[in-house]
Amino acid sequence: MIFWQNTAFLKGIFINLSIITNAMAGKDAKSLEERLRLGFDCDALCSTEQKKEELRINKVNGMGAFLKEDYSSARQFFINAIPKTGDKQEKEWFYRKIIECSKELFKNLMDNQLEDKAEEEFKRVCAGYEHLIKAFETSDNYLDYMSFVGFEMSDKYDKNLFEEAKKIGEKALCRFPEDHRLYKEMYDLCIYTQDDELEDNCIHTAAKLKFNDADYMLDSFGNALWQRHKDNGIIPFQTIMECRGGALYENPAALQKYGKYMVDNVAGNDKLALHMLYTAYCKKPLMPGLKEDLVDAFEQTMEYMKKNNAPIAERKLFIARYQKILEIRKELAGENEKENEKSADRNRFSSEIVVVNPKEIKQYLDQYVIGQEQAKRGVSVGYYMHLLRLKHQGEKNSKMDKSNILLLGPTGCGKTYMLQILAQMSKVPFVIFDTSKITSAGYVGSDAEDCLKSLVNAAEGDIELAQRGIVYLDEADKIKAKPGYGKDVGGEGAQQQLLKLLEGSIVNVGGHNEKKFQIDTKNILFVVGGAFSYTEEGGSIGDRIQCREKVVGFRMQKDEPEETKTCKEDKKNIVTKLTDKDLHEYGFLPEFIGRLHYRIVLDSLTKPELRRILTEPGNAIIPQYENAFRLSGIKLVIRDDALDTIAEEAFALNAGARSLKTICDKIFEDALFHLPGSSTTEYIVNRTEVMRYIKK
C-alpha cells in the first residue's frame, strides 16, 4: 500500500512534525529520538489500515458466498469480520447474518434427513442468538429467538421445544417487563402448551399495559378477554375496566370498540356492552357508527331481558334510563326511511336552504376535520351568516351584506377539505378554481368567469342551484400585485377581474362558439385561500404582522429557521392582528380586501393530529385500506407503532395531511398487488414494515 496516497497517513505526518518542532524547542524533556519513535508509529498505522481492509474483504466475500447459497463459507467470513469492526450496528448485522446462514444450513440438513448433523446446526443457531443477545440485549432480539424456537422449530420439527421457548420468554420478561409484545408471544406459546396459569398471567399483564388500545387487545386475545380465571374468578376484561381507576371510561373510541365486540361476539354481557356504548355516546356522540352500535346493543339487551323473564318493573326502569336511545332509534329509522325513498337520487343536490346553527356546523366538521378548532369555529360562524342571509333575503328588516371568507394557512392544513365538507353538509355544488391562471381580459390565461362555468357544470347544468354554490379561489396569494413597471396582468389585473364576482353582480358567462348565459353571484359563497408565504416578490404576511406588532409572529414558510419555530407566539388571537393594511402591503387592492369580511387562519398540523387523521375522521385513510383488504379476504392489522411512524414521516415532509395518503399508498402498494388471491389471510404492519417501504 502506498501510504502517501492515504489522507490519514498525511494527517499523521503533520502531527508528527509538530511533535518534532516542540521537542527541538525544548518543550519536552524526552529526547528527539524518543519523540520520533512515538510520532512515527508505522506499525500501529499499518495495523489499523490492515483491519479495515480485512473487514471489507470478509464482508464482500461473505455476501458473495451468501448469494451463491454457500452458507458455510459465508458464515465463516462473517465470523472473521466481527472482531475487525468497532461499529455496533455493523457488528449486530454480522451476528444476524451468521444466524441466518446457520438457519439455512439447518433447513438443508433436515430436508436431506441428516438429523444428527442438523442437531449440531440447531445448536449453532441457538448459540448465535445467545451471542447476539449477550452483545445486544433488546426485546426484539428476544422475540426473534422465542419465535424461532417456539414456532419455527416446534411447528415443523419438535413440539417439546415450546418449553424451551417459554424459558427464553421468562428471561426476556424479567429483563423487559414493560414490553407487551413479549406477553403476547408468551400467551401464544401457552395456548400451544395448554399452560393455563401462565396464559392467565400473560393476558392480565398485557391488559394492564394496553387496556386503552382496543384494537391490539381484541386482535391479540379476542374472546379470551372474557374468560374467567379458574382460581379467583377474575376475568381479564375486568382488569381492563378497573385499570388506573377506570381510565378506560375516558377513551370513547376504545369503549365503542369493546362494546361493539361484546355485542357481536360475547353472550351474556349485553348490559355491560350497552353501558360502555352509552358512555361513549355521552362523551363523543358523533363518532362514526356509534348510534347504530348503541341501538343494536339496546335491542339485544331488551331481547335478553324478555328471554330471561325480567320483571316488568325492571324493564320499565331500563327503558326510562335509556330514553335517549329510543329517540336515536327513531332518528335512525327516519333516516333509513328517507334514504329508501330517495335512493334513486341520493347524490342529487338539495334545493332547500336549511339554516344550521354554528355549533351543529362545527360538530359536523369535527367528524371529518382533525384539529383547527379556532378555524372551524370561524368557518362555522361565517357559513351560518351566509345561510341566514340566503334564507331570509327579501324579508323586511333582514338586510345583510354579502360576506366572503379569506382562509390563510400552510399547504395540507385542511383549507380545501373543510369547504368540501361544508358543501357536502348543505348539498350544494362546490368547485376549486386556481386563481394563479387568471389574467386581465384580452391576455393569454383564464377569465375569472371560468370558475362560474365550472360551478354550473358541478350543478349538472342547473343555474339556479349553481347560484347557491361555493367557489374556492385557491392560490390567491399568487395574484398579489407585483412591483415594477408595466401592466400587471396576472396580479392586479386578476384581482380586478374577480372584484365583480365577489361583490355580487349579474355576470355574462360564455365566449365564442359557447352557449351564453347569465348568473347572479350575490348568493354564491366565495372563499379566497392561500398559504401567504414567502414568494419571489417578498416575505410572508406573517412577517408583516411580526414587524408591526414587534413580536415573533406566525410564519408559514417551509424552510423556517429552527429558532423561530421554537419561539412562536400563541396563535389564538392572531386573526385579530391581521389588518387591511397588512393585506394591502402584501399586494392586494383595497377594494378586493374590503369584500373579504371573515379572515380565518389555519395552523400547521402537529404529529398527534396527523396520527389522528389516519383513523378518526369519517373517511379516514386506514379504515379504507382495512376495507379493501377485507374485501380481498385478508385481515389488515396495523400496529400503533406503525401509525406513529407514518405520522412522523408525514410531519417531516411538511406537506400536511395530503402526505399521509402518499405514504400509505407507498406502504400498501406491494401488499395489494401480491396478497389478493394468495393463501395469506392476515397482513400485519408494524414500524419495521413501514420503514422498509419508506426507505425505498
pTM greater than 0.85 (yes/no): no
Cell of 633: 379476504
Number of domains in the chain: 4
Q: How far is Cα 290 from Cα 256, in angstroms, rounded to an integer?
A: 7
- Rg, the chain, Cα only: 34
Across residues 454-468, what is the average pLDDT?
A: 86
Q: ∠ CA(357), CA(359), CA(360), 5° rounding?
A: 70
pLDDT digit string (tens) for 93-109? 999 999 999 989 988 88
Which residue type is seen at 246? G
Mean local confidence (pLDDT), 285-306? 88
DSSP character string of 305-352: HHHTT--HHHHHHHHHHTHHHHHHHHHHHHHHHHHHHTGGGTTSPP-S
- Give the bridge partners for 528, in sequence order: 406, 473
CA-wise closest residue to 187 among 200, 172, 168, 174: 200
Residue 237 inside a domain? The answer is no
Q: Give the position of cell 419508506.
A: 694
Which of 180, 169, 237 lies closest to 209, judged by CA? 180
Contact 177, 165 (CB under 8 A): no
DSSP characters over 142-172: HHHHHHIIIIIIHHHT-TTHHHHHHHHHHHH
Q: Which SS3 state, helix, strand or coil, does residue 253 take?
A: helix
The one-character DSSP state at 529 is E
| Nearest Cα residue to 425 out of 503, 485, 368 | 368
Q: 342 pLDDT exceeds 70?
A: no
pLDDT at 553: 40
CATH code for position 384 = 3.40.50.300
Residue 369 grid cell = 376535520
Cβ-contact 560, 440 below 8 angstroms: no
In a domain, 222, yes or no: no
Q: Check which CATH number belongs to the domain holding 624 and give it.
A: 1.10.8.60
Chosen domain end from 601, 631, 651: 601
Tens digit of each residue's pLDDT (9 = 90 or more) over 349-372:
676 778 888 888 888 888 888 888
The rounded distance, in Å, linking the Cα atoms of 327 and 323 is 7
Q: Is the pLDDT of residue 559 over 60?
A: no
pLDDT of amino acid 77: 92
Residue 446 phi, psi (nearest 5): -95, 150
Per-residue pLDDT tens over the stretch 386-401: 888 888 876 766 677 7
387 and 473 share a domain? yes
Going by C-beta distance under 8 Å and a sequence separation of 6 or more, which residues neighbour residue 491?
479, 480, 481, 482, 587
Q: Looking at the structure, tell me whether residues 335 and 388 fall in a common domain.
A: no
Q: Quickly tell me which residue has 355576470 as its cell.
A: 507
Q: What is the pLDDT of residue 513?
A: 66
Tell me, yes or no, whether 379 and 455 share the same domain: yes
- Cβ pair 687, 645 in contact under 8 A: yes
Is position 200 within any domain?
A: no
Is residue 116, in this structure, part of any structural domain at all? no
Cell numbers at residue 347, please?
347524490
Residues with Cβ within 8 Å of 584's Cβ and at least 6 positions away in sequence, in order, are 590, 593
Banded pLDDT at 73 (limits 50, 70, 90): very high
To the nearest whole number, what is the mean pLDDT of the chain?
Answer: 79
Asked if 447 and 477 sit in the same domain, the reply is yes
- Whether residue 449 sits in one domain with residue 535: yes
- pLDDT, position 447: 79
What's the rounded Cα separation, in Å, for the pair 614 and 668? Answer: 14
- For residues 624 and 507, membership in a common domain is answered with no
- 216 domain residue, yes or no: no
Instruction: Give the CA distances from residue 332 to residues 215, 290, 337, 647, in Å, rounded to whole numbers and listed in that order.
Output: 27, 12, 8, 35
609-638: average pLDDT: 87
Domain of residue 20: give its range: 3-40
Query: For residue 131, is it within any domain?
Result: no
| Residue 574 near residue 545, CB atoms below 8 Å | yes
pLDDT digits (tens, 9 = 90+) for 448-459: 888 888 888 888
**Highest mean pLDDT, choosing among 11-25, 481-495, 508-522:** 508-522
Look up residue 479 and give its DSSP letter.
Answer: G
- 647 and 512 in a single domain? The answer is no
- Supply the pLDDT for residue 572: 43
Q: For residues 661 and 590, state if they share a domain.
A: no
Identify whether residues 474 and 583 lie together within a single domain: yes
Q: Which CA distances in Å does 285 have to 318, 324, 664, 670?
A: 21, 12, 29, 37
Which pLDDT belongs to residue 252? 92
State how far the Cα of 468 lies from the Cα of 429, in Å rounded to an integer. Answer: 8
597 and 611 in one domain?
no
| 283 and 375 assigned to the same domain | no
Same domain? 391 vs 405: yes
Question: DSSP labels for 274-303?
Answer: HHHHHHHHHH-TTSTTHHHHHHHHHHHHHH
- Among 527, 519, 496, 578, residue whose Cα is nearest residue 386: 527
Mean pLDDT of 24-42: 55
If you count them, how many residues does the chain have? 696
Q: Would residue 570 count as lying in a domain?
A: no
Q: Which of 263, 163, 250 is nearest to 218 (CA)?
A: 263
Return the C-alpha cell found at 501.
364576482
In a domain, 532, yes or no: yes
Distance (Å, whole) CA 575 – CA 601: 6
- Three-class SS of residue 69? coil
The H-assigned helical ranges of 537-686 are: 541-549, 562-565, 574-577, 580-586, 590-593, 607-613, 621-631, 640-653, 658-674
Return the bridge partners of 508, or none.
518
Band (544; pLDDT cuts 50, 70, 90): low
